[in-house]
Amino acid sequence: MANHRITLKINGEYEQVDVPSQMTLLQMLRDKLAFTGTKNGCNAGECGACTVLLNGEPVNSCMILAVECQGAEIVTVEGLAQDGVLDPVQQAIIDHGGVQCGFCTPGVLISARALINRNPHPTPDEISEALVGNLCRCTGYLRIVDAIQDAAARQESLAARL
């Protein structure tokens, strides 16, 4: 099992990591770098709990090999808040009661961030579509969808003030 030394940017900071060929991005994040906010729910790309941003796109990190991430930019749930200030999607999901057990939450938040980045005014249907790969067993999704719509509105009013 060959090891590979890769350099990549995670949550704004450069990291150099030695990874075996078969190691997934999820394993690297959790086991090598202790970014345990990203969750392992199925290890098969089916539940979305391990969603991270890879060069701005939401991906299931359990389906990506770490070696593929040489030079990449990764954002995990730990990278959403800036200087202790929550991302609007984080604040909105708290305010709307869209968190219960919290295990799907990191993946949901990353998918939401990716959606708002590419579509600043998503409709409820567009939000539901964007979340279809993020399984949640607790909330019934409604409060999450409301939160994301609210987060988009908050972000816009925040941007208008800047």
Which residues form the interface with other proteins (CB under 8 A)? 30, 34-44, 46-47, 49, 76-78, 80-81, 86, 90, 93-95, 97, 99-106, 109, 124, 127-129, 131-132, 134-145
| CB of 148 closer than 8 Å to CB of 112 | yes
Which C-beta is closer to other proteins: that of 85 or that of 162? 85
Which C-beta is closer to other proteins: that of 120 or that of 124? 124
Which C-beta is closer to other proteins: that of 53 or that of 136? 136
Helix axes 142-161, 88-95, angle to 10 degrees: 130
| CB of 92 closer than 8 Å to CB of 125 | no
Pairing of strands 57-60, 13-20: unpaired
- Region class of 66: left (phi > 0), else alpha (psi between -120 and 50), else beta: alpha
In the complex, what is the shortest distance from the CB of residue 86 to other proteins, in angstroms, rounded to a whole number? Answer: 7
In the complex, what is the shortest distance from the CB of residue 60 to other proteins, in angstroms, rounded to a whole number? Answer: 12
Give the whole-angstrom CA distance, residue 26 versus residue 64: 8
In the complex, what is the shortest distance from the CB of residue 89 to other proteins, in angstroms, rounded to a whole number? Answer: 8
In the complex, what is the shortest distance from the CB of residue 58 to other proteins, in angstroms, rounded to a whole number? Answer: 14
